[in-house]
Amino acid sequence: MRQKLWNLADVLFTFLFYYVAGLTIHEWAHYTIGTALGYTAEAHFSWFGGYVLFHQPLTLPHVIAIGIAGGAITGAFMLLISVFTSDWEEALVTRFFFPLQFIYAAHEVLYLLGYVPLWALGTLPVLWVAIIFMAWYLWPEEE
């Protein structure tokens, strides 16, 4: 019982660490790609989310590039960690977050283009898809 509690605490701490790290990397990627394309921007963070505010209007190709950058870069980072880590807790958590980030990247671009309302951009719809994907990804293979 004691070991199960330690494992649970380890998974929860790892989850919180990668949640905050993923949020930071996600917004950093938007900010970095935007400033590399010549825009002035400022990033805002809270414990529950963040956003990057650009001070000039964005062109359509730049909206797509900046919108995809957050989820794609963070998702790739989490995917690499999940593949190369030997820690099972870290692998479990990053395998949860990497599809979430990739799916969120697509939602974010659709939101920025006006095709998805703000409520659909939230974490809950994306979370369901990520849980389904994670269940498929972690499901034991039949012999």
In this structure, are residues 56 and 40 in contact, taking their beta carbons and an 8 Å threshold?
yes
Domain ranges of the chain: 2-38+54-138
At residue 138, the pLDDT reads 63
* Dihedral sign (CA 101, 134, 125, 17): negative
- What digits encode the pLDDT tens for the residues 73-130? 999 999 999 999 998 888 888 988 888 898 889 889 998 998 888 777 766 556 666 6
Query: What integer is the mean pLDDT of 34-39?
Result: 96
What pLDDT, in 10s, does the model give residues 117-138? 877 776 655 666 667 666 666 6
* 118 membership: H or E segment, kind and range: helix 118-121
As a whole number, the mean pLDDT across the chain is: 85
What share of the chain in percent tops pLDDT 90? 43
Does residue 58 surpass a pLDDT of 90? yes
